[in-house]
Amino acid sequence: MALVASLCIGATTLDEYRKHIEKDPALERRFQPVKVPEPTVDETIQILRGLRERYELHHKLQYTDDALVAAAKLSYQYISDRFLPDKAIDLIDEAGSRVRLRHAQLPDEAKELDKELRQVTKDKNEAVRGQDFEKNFF
C-alpha cells in the first residue's frame, strides 16, 4: 500500500482539542500540538493596523489609529469570554457595520436633523456643566 504524506494545520481551543482530538488516540498521535499564546495588547494593535485597510474597504469608512488602540485595550479589559486578537477584530468589524448601516439608512434630511440634535445636546450638556440654567435652547 502506498503511503501518502499530507500536512494538516488547524486552529482550535484547548478545550475543543481535548474534547475532540484527545479522546481518539489514533487521531491524537497524528497531530503535534503547537500552543500559541494570546497576543499582547500592543501586538494586537499592530495586527489591527495590518488589517485596517481590508476593513476600511469592506465598510467604506476609515478607522483612526485611536479607534484601533481603543478596540484592543477595551476588548482586552471588558470582553472576558474571548481572546485577542479575535475580540478586538470583531469589535472594529461590528463598529464599522454599525456606522455604515446608520449612514446608509438615513435620508439626507434625517442626517441633518441628527447633526442638529447632536449639537443641541452638546450645547445643553455644556450649559449644565457651566450651571448656565437660564440658557434657552428652543
The pLDDT of residue 103 is 76
Contact 61, 101 (CB under 8 A): no
Q: How far is CA 74 from CA 3, 94, 126, in A?
A: 50, 14, 27
Kindly report, residue by residue over 46-59, the tens digit of the pLDDT. Answer: 999 999 999 999 99
Domain ranges in the chain are 12-105, 106-138
Positive or negative torsion for Cα 65, 60, 82, 77:
positive
pTM over 0.85: no
Q: Which fold has domain 12-105?
A: Helicase, Ruva Protein; domain 3 (1.10.8)
